[in-house]
Amino acid sequence: MGKYVLGVDLGTSAVKVSALDHSGQIVAQESFDYDLIQKKPGYNEQNPEDWVSGTTVAIVRLILTDHLAAEEIEGLSFSGQMHGLVLLDENKKVLRPSILWNDTRSTPQREEIEAKLGDEFVDITRNQPLEGFTLTKLLWVKENEPDIWAKAKYFVLPKDYVRYRMTGNLAMDYSDATGTVLLDVAKGEWSKKICDTFDIPMSMCPPLIKSVDFAGTVTSAYAEFSGLTTATKVFGGAADNAAGAVGAGILHPNMVLSSIGTSGVVLKYEDNADVNYHGVLQFEDHAIPDKYYSMGVTLAAGYSLSWFKKTFAPAEDFTDFVASAAKSTVGANGLLYTPYIVGERAPYADADIRGSFTGVDGTHQRYDFVRAVLEGIVFSFRDLFDIYEENGGDFDTVVSIGGGAKSPLWLQIQADIFNRKVVSLKNEQGPGMGAAMIAATGLGWFDSLQDCAQTFVHFGKAYEPNPENVKKYAKMHAIYKQVYKQTKAISEQLLDYRREEL
């Protein structure tokens, strides 16, 4: 009889539950979709009950359809969508739909936080009080739904609510707690200063646990609901970016993650909380106890490429389309693309900046534009690498995941622009893999997440930087960095024009 762990990846559009054995092999996988509630532009909510029922359905399918014996499932843990606010009453019942990470209604609350605490807030939390974070959502409810606020006794984040429903115990792990921007990162405790400033009772903040900490066993009620046994152990879990970093093996100071999805993420392992990026980059607790990670986001990474293909080559095979960039040269024959087509997050927190092609002339072919888009996305990541280097960051390996890891050409471009070794994963599974690794480590299958990675994480081919290309890309990136300042005023004027026309 085998023994398995479950990794529950609770995303924004679906939950995916993966069952893994001792060797890190996925033996079965099930998912369940759920809907967004969008009452107004900028409002994004979900019913927490949908997460519970979706997770449960996926587990039931693993047992009934994939024939996993419940007694073989020793433990489970979570990766969770970050920042979403779940408010509970004194009986721990949900008071209203969860306000999600991508909800943008709370700009007045962000401005209130900045006005009252300013730089002190960033010093405490290591982050700016962006609309996406949990604190601004708490203040929005406090100011706009006083009847709900009067009943609110606890708040948790999405995965924490599902864990509570499984175990009956309320808690939040440190990696998700930093994403609330209510945590004093250096002290590792809820910030009394922030809670007092905004009249948030400290009693609302749940107990803090580590990602690998034991959070309880499955209750008899949930065992009956899901088919699991009451012996199944549940562990804290982590925010999706922290779990994704675990699943990608970003568990050592020499490693950085390059993730090209719709948006793009550069994520770096941080050994301690001594570094301060002053809110330009997000700074969060890692799933590894007493370790951290920092990250910056490019809003339109893979989206830039999908937009360009959809607009200019809708019928072409995607792989062939990307591969055509090989017909161009390093630097795309002098053509630059800036991927600011939906604004930018880091290093420029600018909703009004817009993208551009610079240097277009009559000799350029479509493949030059494709290459310029590939390179421009990586140049935007290079901007974040520069911040790390300015702050003494020392790393030699970049783990590439997502769309950027599916093209050998794009992997080489990353190696040359980053001037670092770039590797991909043989078994890329994202945050769900990290969640399973947390469960396996919590159970004692491994002494640490680093030990677990030796068995569960497998790297593919390494791409080494080409010295000649590195020199050429350094020149192009120096030019690229000037484009933002040169186009900012023009972008704002064009955006004003479009708004007037609409």
Task: Tell me the C-alpha distance between 195 and 418, whole Å.
Answer: 41
- Report the C-alpha gap between 111 and 129 in whole angstroms: 8
Q: What are phi and psi of 255, to 5 degrees?
A: -120, 140
Alpha carbon distance 69, 74 (integer Å): 10
Contact 262, 301 (CB under 8 A): yes
Query: With the C-alpha atoms ordered 475, 478, 480, 486, is the resulting torsion angle positive or negative?
Result: negative
Which amino acid makes up residue 327?
A: K
Nearest-angstrom CA–CA distance, 210 and 336 = 44
Q: At what angle do helices 366-390 and 408-418 cross, to 10 degrees?
A: 40
Residues across the chain = 502
How far apart, in Å, do the first and last CA atoms of the chain sit?
64
- Annotated ligand binding at 437? The verdict is no
Cis amide bond preceding 347, omega within 30:
yes
Annotated binding residue 166: no
* Token pair for 278: 């002053």
d(C-alpha 174, C-alpha 177), whole Å: 5
Give CA angle at 275 (398, 448), nearest 5°: 60
Question: Which H/E stretch holds residue 150?
Answer: helix 146-151
Q: Which residues are catalytic?
A: 240
Say if residue 159 is exposed, middle or buried (CB neighbours under 10 Å; 0-12, 13-18, 19+).
Answer: buried
> What residue numbers does the annotated binding site for substrate cover?
82-83
> What residue numbers does the annotated binding site cover?
82-83
